Structure 1
């Protein structure tokens, strides 16, 4: 008998579009489905961001502000 061991759901990961900061001094990135602007600027340092991909856990954005 195993105590304290929970049945864990499988974590689903997939290739996800993200925006990465172009500044060499900043490591900020955000998921494409969480951006507010069409071409976002870095929320941490204000630099331009470029689109890329990462393999991440699937997260849905149910915000009414998502376009």
Structure 2
């Protein structure tokens, strides 16, 4: 098993206590995202994760 380098990463976590949804900030398309699993609001936090670069040409966030 290969150990991938990790870093503190900004994420969005679901505010619904019954849901464990989260996503990396650099893969979010909305300024204030909603959970893709339960549609609850999400809040910004950080998590230690493997480094992944988003190479998408469209990384602009919209308000909705």
- TM-score class, shorter-chain normalisation, is 0.7 to 0.9
Distance apart, 1:10 and its partner CA: 4.9
Unmatched 5+ residue regions in structure 2? Answer: none
CA distance, structure 2, for counterparts of residue 25 and residue 19 of structure 1: 16
- RMSD value over aligned CA atoms? 1.4
2:54 counterpart SS class: coil
CA radius of gyration, larger in: 1
Normalised TM-score (structure 1): 0.82
Residues 1-67 of structure 1: matches in 2 within 5 Å? 10-67=3-60
How many aligned positions are there?
60
Q: Deviations over 1:22-44 (max 9, x none)?
A: 00111000000000101101111
Q: Secondary structure at the match of 1:43?
A: coil
> Any gaps of 5 or more consecutive residues in structure 1?
1-7
TM-score calculated relative to the size of structure 2:
0.85
